[in-house]
Amino acid sequence: MNKNFSDVLIVGGGAAGLSLALRLAEQDISITLLSKSELTEGSSLYAQGGIAAVLDSGDDFESHIEDTHTAGAGLCKDSAVRKVIEGAPQSIEWLIEKGVKFTLIGGAEYDGEDSEYHLTREGGHSHRRVIHAKDATGREVATTLEQHVRAQPNVTILENHIAIDLISSQRIEGDGKSRCYGAYALDIDSNTVKTYAARAVVLSSGGASKAYLYTTNPDTSTGDGIAMAWRAGCRIANMEFVQFHPTCLYHPYAKGSLISEAVRGEGGLLRLPNGNRFMDAHHERAELAPRDIVARAIDYEMKKGGFDSVFLDISHRGRDFVLDHFPNISENCRKYGYDLTSEPVPVVPAAHYTCGGILTDLRGRTDLKRLYAVGESSCTGLHGANRLASNSLLECLVIAEAAADDISQRLGNADDEIPTLPEWDESQVSDPDERIVVSHNWDELRRFMWDYVGIVRTDKRLERALHRVNLLQEEIVEFYGHFRVSNDLIELRNLATVAELTIECSLTRKESRGLHYTLDYPEMHEFARDTILTPNNFASHAPIREWDNT
């Protein structure tokens, strides 16, 4: 029998994984939750802006739906857009019931039904509809959910555990039925690999922006779930759409210091070094244009003028306003010598969000039976070619609820037996003799992805990147086959895989759409089509036929 067995194995502890775990745990389902670092140390924790939802009487679902489709450049799946947006108010109420303290008008604390929540507006939105907790919404949501999950007796939390690979029926039985039985994971503290069996496995491990040299994401964002699902036989979609956040603080030591979209939503202006504004020359919404347009405009102005950065200025709103609305961002800027309340601060774009990922339906189901994916590691069709600001945490919550419902129903089926899974075999490997190879390859990958697969692309640049990643893959395969795994090696292997998937998707798309802009094909096609990559060991099952291109 499998000694590390639970009903559900969840890989990742952000908003998607925590909300899913809590919903399942409240149904007396046993859960093992793996986190490669501290439980909440992921992109959700660092989300500043908020959660988009129709909560004001002057707003409506159709407006939010239209804004999402517009930002997504015609590639959003309408069924996904409607499900997530129409499920938003209910998800917000669920968070409030769990104790999430969103900011009220005037900054007061919640004191009953008459209290009104402050809604801000971000780029691409036609109304104020972003509910938030000051400028640290992700931290408030993640830490509140964490407290509830830790209190559940049927949840086993394993921090400092990084998943290596999924265990499928094809891998251990070769029966072609494509079922997921669990995963191998490295206990980083003890440096031992353990086998985890489960009746259902959920990948909620986030995106892959650490494939780029400059990113707003924490070190955990290495595309682990996407890479594991691809190796296990799942289709991957739309990886060419990498969202670059327009405003990351520019400072040699300000690693990944995001300056929220909400700063521009509350009146922040983008300026050149000479103080002149420039966004009104690029889009009718100026600073409130969708993120792809703002990031591309900044990139254009920096290259045109030879600037190291542009500047974001909200000082005209006054010191009290800035400190009240953006206390954490102001404090972070101050640490690096900038005063957000009195001066413009230097900003540059940085890789921020992976819009593509593991192909799923609207219940989180993948091509592999018993395997689910939720959050940034998945591709439901909500974001299309460009994610609308503050729709990401929303997707985590709504799809996690749907996945929890589907999992709880499926666990009642008779076909739930799990075979005894083979233990991890290290009999043919040794300790690595030169760990420097891993760090050098990691650095090389992130640099050529930034140079060749960035905001503006060409086929020549992409082909150079593909050649480089293929060479790296050969070295990684050899290293992986001969030496014991480590945290760095696992992440490098996964980053190389998601880099290759991103490049392949980018080369496949012969147009410019949303976040994918290529000088070779600057026009957008009349008809929008998804880019879907299919692995050699692909085996389909019914739930995601809705993704078939017609």
**Taking phi first (over 0 means left), then psi (-120 to 50 degrees means alpha), and beta for anything else, what does residue 265 get?**
alpha
**CA neighbor of 140 nearest in space, from 12, 416, 327:** 327
* Residue spans of beta strands (DSSP E) within 188-303: 192-203, 236-237, 242-249, 269-271
Using CA atoms, how far residue 415 sits from 174, 200, 214, 393, 449, in Å, is: 18, 12, 46, 33, 44
SS3 198: strand
5 neighbors 200 (Cβ within 8 angstroms): no
Cβ burial 54-81 (10 Å sphere, 16+ → b, else e): bbeeebeeebbbebbbbbbbbbbbeebb
513 has catalytic annotation: no
Using CA atoms, how far residue 82 sits from 41, 362, 382, in Å, is: 30, 11, 9
Using CA atoms, how far residue 437 sits from 50, 227, 421, 428, in Å, is: 40, 21, 32, 20
385 neighbors 241 (Cβ within 8 angstroms): yes
Q: 121, 291, 363, 387: which one is catalytic?
A: 291
**CA neighbor of 42 nearest in space, from 9, 10, 16, 8:** 16
Please give the Cα distance from 314 to 324 (Å, whole number). 13
List the catalytic residues: 291
